[in-house]
């Protein structure tokens, strides 16, 4: 019975990659900061595989990259307001090093979005005035991060009897159990 929920999760996340305004297109990424504090930010989902590896893009100078290099354990939190569905994914993040893949994905990004990865200053740097923001012409800091899912927590909010299912991935596939919501 719980496989239906896992199928719904996969189906909705795949739609989020292909549909521009899908409610699950953006999620919250949680990581651990250098002072062991939790750090969260909104990211855009770019790809999902059948084994629930999720991909997103960032500037390689961003804090999340150094945090992931130090501690690859991350959480992703999605919420679909119409379906009242929350999906929490815990996994291990890694920085993609495959230069051919990076070049291929870079070529498919539109020129306006490429600006996000070509600022002369790193994300989070102080600017006296937003008009000071300048861009590089020949260099970029485009980075791909993949998250291999370890657990998925599915929460369905209803007027009565909310329910929650926890999925764990092991070498044999997915196991599941219901949880108190």
What's the token pair of residue 111?
């020129």
- Alpha helices per DSSP H over 108-149: 111-114
**Number of folded domains in the chain?**
1
Residue 6 belongs to domain spanning: 2-179
**CATH code, 125:** 2.30.110.10
Q: How far is Cα of residue 166 from the mean position of the Cα atoms in its chain?
A: 19
pLDDT at 86: 98
Rg of the chain (C-alpha set): 18
What's the token pair of residue 145?
């991060």
For 130-158, what is each residue's pLDDT tens digit? 998 999 999 999 999 999 999 999 999 98
Return d(Cα 82, Cα 144) in angstroms, integer.
Answer: 30
The answer, as to whether pTM is greater than 0.85, is yes
Return d(Cα 127, Cα 59) in angstroms, integer.
Answer: 17
């Amino acid at each position: 019975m719980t496989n239906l929920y896992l199928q719904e999760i996969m189906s909705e996340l795949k739609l989020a990659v292909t549909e521009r305004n899908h409610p699950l297109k953006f999620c919250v990424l949680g990581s651990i900061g250098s002072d062991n504090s939790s750090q969260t930010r909104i990211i855009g989902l770019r790809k999902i595989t059948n084994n629930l590896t999720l991909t997103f893009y960032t500037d390689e100078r961003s804090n999340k990259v150094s945090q992931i290099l130090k501690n690859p354990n991350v959480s992703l939190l999605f919420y679909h307001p119409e379906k009242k569905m929350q999906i929490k994914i815990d996994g291990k993040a890694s920085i993609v090093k495959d230069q051919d893949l990076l070049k291929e994905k870079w070529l498919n990004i539109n020129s306006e979005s490429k600006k996000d990865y070509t600022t002369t200053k790193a994300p989070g740097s102080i600017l006296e005035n937003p008009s000071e923001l300048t861009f590089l012409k020949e260099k970029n800091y485009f980075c791909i991060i993949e998250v291999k899912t370890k657990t998925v927590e599915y929460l369905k909010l209803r007027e009565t009897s909310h329910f929650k299912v926890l999925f764990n991935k092991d070498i044999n596939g997915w196991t599941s159990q219901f949880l108190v919501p």
